[in-house]
């Protein structure tokens, strides 16, 4: 996604009719938000997974429920954004 954002910005900067600030703003709005969202979700899932590893000393039933919740949350996020991921 970062590479696509850079290509899009480079393409917009080549347009003589478009001011560089407008090119940056257009690219930032449409592509950088997607990149920030993906990074945020990656961070959230990574933290969840790391904290799940720390629960080894807890009750096995609790750990199993947390594992199922983690899996369901990750699958929900993938399903919610499947169109975006197939497009990119």
The pTM (predicted TM-score) of the whole model is 0.56
**In this structure, how many other beta carbons lie within 10 angstroms of the beta carbon of residue 27?**
20
Q: Which residue from 47, 50, 45, 53 is spatially nearest to 71, judged by alpha carbons? A: 45
pLDDT tens digits, 59-83: 888 888 888 999 999 899 888 888 7
Domain around 13 = 2-87
Domain count, the chain: 1
pLDDT tens digits, 12-52: 778 778 787 777 777 766 667 777 888 898 999 899 888 88
Q: Which residue from 40, 33, 23, 50 is spatially nearest to 88, judged by alpha carbons? A: 33
């Amino acid at each position: 996604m970062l590479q696509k954002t850079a290509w899009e910005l480079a393409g917009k900067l080549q347009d003589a009719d478009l001011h560089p600030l407008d090119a940056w703003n257009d690219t930032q709005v449409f592509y950088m938000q997607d990149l920030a969202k993906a990074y945020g979700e990656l961070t959230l899932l990574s933290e969840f997974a790391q904290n799940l590893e720390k629960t080894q000393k807890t009750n096995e039933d609790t750990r199993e429920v947390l594992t199922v919740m983690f899996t369901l949350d990750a699958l929900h996020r993938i399903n919610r954004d499947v169109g975006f991921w197939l497009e990119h």
